[in-house]
Amino acid sequence: MNKLIACMNLLALIITLICPAAVLAAAASPSASPPDFTAKLDLAMVGEADVGGGGGFSAMTGRLDLDYKGFSFQYQRNSYQWSDLGQLPFGNGQDDPWESLQKVGISYTHRGAISDNMDYMAMAGVSSTFEEEMEDSYNVQGMMTATYRLTPLWRVSFGLAARYHKVETTLLPIAGISYNLATPQGLFASLGFPVTVVGYRFKHGWSLNWGALEFNNNYYRLADDSTVRPRGFLETRDLISSFWVAYQPRKNIKLEAGIHYLFNRELNTYDQEGENEQDHDVDNAWGGFLRVRLEF
């Protein structure tokens, strides 16, 4: 089960690096030309949760995505607030195990047509996930997918994804099916990995959305003087279910606000060689988020 979750998590990471806010839009109209420039800002929080039955933490996240003609840049910073340090299963019991974790990534995505009914997308990228120092913090990932239009409303997608990181290298297939994603009004759905979303669009730019299941997984290189694992690695794992309201007052502006529930959570640590894993379960928690997306 853990290997299956890890595979799903890889897909979430790769899709996130490509173009986080545009995944469903690309699937909805793969032949359409994407906007030249897209900017997206995400702000999110997660409530306090215990680690290993002892101390706990809450977190705030800020993330910026910029996309220009296939080239993408992403910066994300997660800030942590800790409680009951002496009860945590890692650290020295006095200092915060870490104050923040960061991610910086770049990628390039190319889209094209194979036939009248089939399109493809290829992506290659590199990212760095770290606490302070960037050495040994790199991820290299790639993906190729094809989308086939069964009918004007139904599409199937398939492909292959890969990621290299010092802790783990993974190669796996991709599959999914979508319904009516381009509709201006009515029911739509995208079923598969890494994202399953069902929603309904109303008149005047409003929609309700349910993200039934999303998989989130990252490896972070810890600081040289870390009290958890000096020069080691931290793995974060979450399964996420979300509900949000979206409003699009103009064609190039989209606003979203919602709540999410994080479960089946883990914080796993490794030494500087990416070995000697120590697993720590994290309690479930509720959170919320705001998103702003601009297109030009």
Percent of the chain at pLDDT > 70 equals 88
Structural domain total, the chain: 1
**Poorest-pLDDT segment among 18-27, 29-38, 156-165, 265-274:** 18-27
Residue where the block lists tokens 């039955």: 53
- Confidence band, pLDDT 50/70/90 cuts, at residue 213: confident
Cα–Cα dist 13/174, whole Å: 13
- Confidence band, pLDDT 50/70/90 cuts, at residue 13: very low
Q: 19 Cβ partners below 8 Å, 6+ apart?
A: 26, 38, 65, 67, 72, 109
Q: Which of 63, 99, 45 is nearest to 286 (CA)?
A: 45
Cα–Cα dist 5/12, whole Å: 11
Task: Supply 170's token pair.
Answer: 């993974």
Start-to-end C-alpha separation, the chain: 43
Q: Which of 65, 99, 103 is nearest to 82 (CA)?
A: 99
Q: Tell me the pLDDT tens digit for each residue of 108-149.
A: 999 999 999 999 999 999 999 999 999 999 999 999 999 999
DSSP 88-143: SSSS-SSS-S-SEEEEEEEEEEEEEEEETTEEEEEEEEEEEEESS--TT-EEEEEE
Residue where the block lists tokens 């094209």: 112
- Using CA atoms, how far residue 218 sits from 132, 262, 267, in Å, is 16, 15, 10
Tell whether the model's pLDDT for residue 12 goes beyond 70.
no
- Give the torsion sign (CA, 126, 129, 135, 138): negative
Task: Supply 266's token pair.
Answer: 């883990």
Q: Report pTM.
A: 0.87
Start-end of H helices in 118-204: none
Tell whether the model's pLDDT for residue 7 goes beyond 50.
no
Cα maximum dimension of the chain: 63
Contact 177, 197 (CB under 8 A): no
Cα–Cα dist 127/140, whole Å: 7
Tell whether the model's pLDDT for residue 2 goes beyond 80.
no
Contact 102, 129 (CB under 8 A): yes
**Poorest-pLDDT segment among 76-85, 102-111, 194-203, 240-249:** 194-203
**Poorest-pLDDT segment among 1-10, 181-190, 243-252, 263-272:** 1-10
Q: Up-side HSE of residue 17: CA atoms within 13 Å toward CB?
A: 30
Q: Which of 215, 225, 197 is nearest to 161 (CA)?
A: 215
Tell whether the model's pLDDT for residue 42 goes beyond 90.
yes
Q: Given this model, what pLDDT does residue 14 score?
A: 40
The strand pairing partners of 266, in sequence order, are: 237, 281
Task: Supply 255's token pair.
Answer: 């606003």
Tell whether the model's pLDDT for residue 164 goes beyond 80.
yes
- Confidence band, pLDDT 50/70/90 cuts, at residue 53: confident
Task: Supply 143's token pair.
Answer: 């993906």
Average pLDDT of the chain? 89
Start-end of H helices in the chain: 2-18, 23-28
Q: Given this model, what pLDDT does residue 21 score?
A: 36
Segments forming the whole domain that contains residue 155: 2-295
- Confidence band, pLDDT 50/70/90 cuts, at residue 26: very low
